[in-house]
Amino acid sequence: MFDTEREIIESKIRLCLDCGKCTVVCPVAQHDPEFNPRLIAQRRLSQNSHSPQDETIWQCISCYMCVERCNYYVKFPEFIHGLRAEALAEGAQLQCTHGGALQALQHMMAREDLLQDRLSWLPQDIELSEQSDTIFFVGCAPYFDIVFSDLEVNTLKGVEGALRLLNRAQIPFNILANERCCGRDLLLQGDREGFLALAKANMQEFARYGVKKIITNCPECHYTLKVDYPNVLGDTGIQVMHLTEVIAPLVQSGELSLGELEKRATYHDPCTLGRCSRIFDEPRQILRAVTGLDVVEMEQSREKALCCGASPWVYCGAVNRQIQDQRLTQATATGADILVTTCPKCQIHLRCAQKSRDGKIPQVEIQDLAFLAARSLDIGGESVG
């Protein structure tokens, strides 16, 4: 299933020309001169005997900016994930953020006999179709809103918005009461065993309910279910779509109309939805369909969008904070009232920067796209973020 040597070859890292373009565009390298993707590759590939562990491998935020720029499309972050797996196998200790709460949660979620009680937030008026072979994959939002309650994030509002849009569009779907974390964070950390356990538990649930199609709101779940699961487990026979891919065509064709919102908004492309899944237009089409909404672009957007500054709940420090500040400053420079994203983790990371700067950093409102779209129809749920 996993073979680190094979992965290193498949990352095409040996095609590296040593041109250094990755270092120029890498947001981490911009703030930390010690971090250098090209040299990480050199150090690992020239290893003829056992060399001391490269500590800088933990700093990469898997933003895929370097891949975008690379002449040979070397998948550097995937190479890094392989190096992390190697390091963990050699006994490296993860520097977990948030006291390791997320890792503990993800490992517990992988238990086979687990019977979660994770749907109490689900509003009564959301219509589920129990017979449908399409499911909406909720992701970890119910957990995030508790673990990060100090940050006053409300990632479930995005999920609720997504469900209401699907209901409004009359697309039938079910929700699984015992879905697990998709496992992407563990995969990015190099914890293969943990990832596999979650992936298998999810696949069992999907099989039990005969799932044929999955819609997600979280870009990470989307990519993991669509790309990583088949990569690791073989063909899953399940079609995976991001909510924006489902909603945008309906909005474009006029089958679904959105409401009105007199605001200015800027769209923050989550790395995984944009550079990994190449979904750049759909979210913007949805935003433009909201009457009165003035949609503006940040200095860095689409393929060049800046990351929210942190990745799989490991190794977060001053550099990450600088990237977050930079992104929030770009958003404010557009004059936007709202920074729109589709990723709960972007929300958490940017909100964390706003909170910890105690008002000294732009307090642009951060909202989920699905919530905003539902809100324009007055179906966003009771609280207007």
Partner 1 sequence: MNKSAIHLVVFACNWDGLSCIEEAARGGLTYPASVRVVRVSCLSRVHQGLMLKAFELGADGVMLLGCEPGNCQYDIDAGLVTREYEKARIVLGLLGLGKERLVLCHIPRGDGPGFVRRVTDFIKELEQVRPAIPARA
Task: Catalog residues that contact ligand SF4 under the rule CB under 6 A.
Answer: 22, 26, 28, 37, 60-66, 76-77
* Contact residues for 321 (Cβ-Cβ < 8 A; gap 6+): 309, 353, 356
Closest-CA residue to 298 (of 321, 277, 329) = 329
Query: Which of partner 1, ligand SF4, none binds 60 (CB below 5-8 Å, type-dependent)?
Result: ligand SF4
The Cβ of residue 255 has, within 10 Å, a number of other Cβ atoms equal to: 10
Of 39 and 119, which has the nearer Cβ to partner 1? 119
φ, ψ of residue 215 in degrees (nearest 5): -115, 135
What does DSSP assign to residue 305? P
CB 58 within 8 A of CB 314: yes
Q: Which of 38, 84, 118, 375 binds partner 1 (CB under 8 A)?
A: 118
The residue range among 81-89, 100-108, 208-216, 336-344 that interacts with partner 1, by the rule CB under 8 A, is: 100-108
> Is residue 231 involved in binding partner 1 (CB under 8 A)?
no
For ligand SF4, the closer of residues 76 and 267 by Cβ is 76
Q: Quick one: 161 or 274, whose CB is closer to ligand SF4? A: 274
Answer with the entry of partner 1, ligand SF4, none that 147 interacts with (C-beta below 5 to 8 A by kind): partner 1
Per CB under 8 A, 93 contacts partner 1:
no
- Distances from the Cα of 78 to the Cα of 11, 97, 150, 175, 178, angstroms: 6, 21, 32, 31, 29
Alpha helices in 236-382 (DSSP H): 243-253, 281-288, 318-333, 344-356, 369-376
Helix or strand run (H / E) with residue 240: strand 239-242
Q: How far is the CB of 220 from ligand SF4 (least distance, A)?
A: 15
Residues with Cβ within 8 Å of residue 269, at least 6 apart in sequence: 275, 280, 283, 301, 302, 305
List the structure tokens of 209.
Answer: 């309910």
Least spacing, CB of residue 63 vs ligand SF4, in Å: 4
Decide: is 195 part of the binding site for partner 1 (CB under 8 A).
no
| CA gap 355, 296 in Å, rounded | 25
**Is residue 286 a contact partner of residue 273, using CB atoms and an 8 Å limit?**
no
Q: Using an 8 Å Cβ cutoff, are 164 and 379 in contact? A: yes
- DSSP label at residue 226: I
Question: For tokens 């981490």, what's the residue?
Answer: 28
Residue closer to partner 1, measured from CB, 106 or 334:
106
Question: Which one, 27 or 139, has the nearer CB to partner 1?
Answer: 139
Among 30, 116, 174, 231, binds partner 1 (CB under 8 A): 116
Nearest of 191, 232, 166, 218 to residue 87 by alpha carbon: 191
Q: Cβ 109 to partner 1, closest distance in Å? A: 7
Closest CA to 175 of 143, 229, 214: 214
Q: How far is the CB of 92 from ligand SF4 (least distance, A)?
A: 18
Q: Minimum distance between the CB of residue 118 and partner 1, rounded to whole angstroms?
A: 5
**Among ligand SF4, partner 1, none, what binds residue 348 when CB lies within 5 to 8 Å by partner kind?**
none
Q: Does 19 bind partner 1 (CB under 8 A)?
A: no
The answer to whether 250 and 285 are in contact (CB under 8 A) is no
Rule CB under 8 A: say whether 98 interacts with partner 1.
yes
Q: 28 vs 338, which CB is nearer to ligand SF4?
A: 28
Q: Which among ligand SF4, partner 1, none contacts residue 98 (Cβ within 5 to 8 A by kind)? A: partner 1
Q: Is 200 in the site for partner 1 (CB under 8 A)?
A: no
Of 143, 206, 223, 267, which lies in the binding site for partner 1, with binding defined by CB under 8 A? 143
- Residue 88 touches which of ligand SF4, partner 1, none (Cβ within 5-8 Å per kind): none
- By a kind-dependent CB cut-off of 5 to 8 A, residue 62 interacts, out of partner 1, ligand SF4, none, with ligand SF4
Of 109 and 373, CB closest to partner 1: 109
Calpha distance 144→51 (Å, rounded): 38
Chain residues in the site for partner 1 (CB under 8 A): 96, 98-101, 103-105, 107-109, 111, 113-118, 142-143, 146-147, 149-150
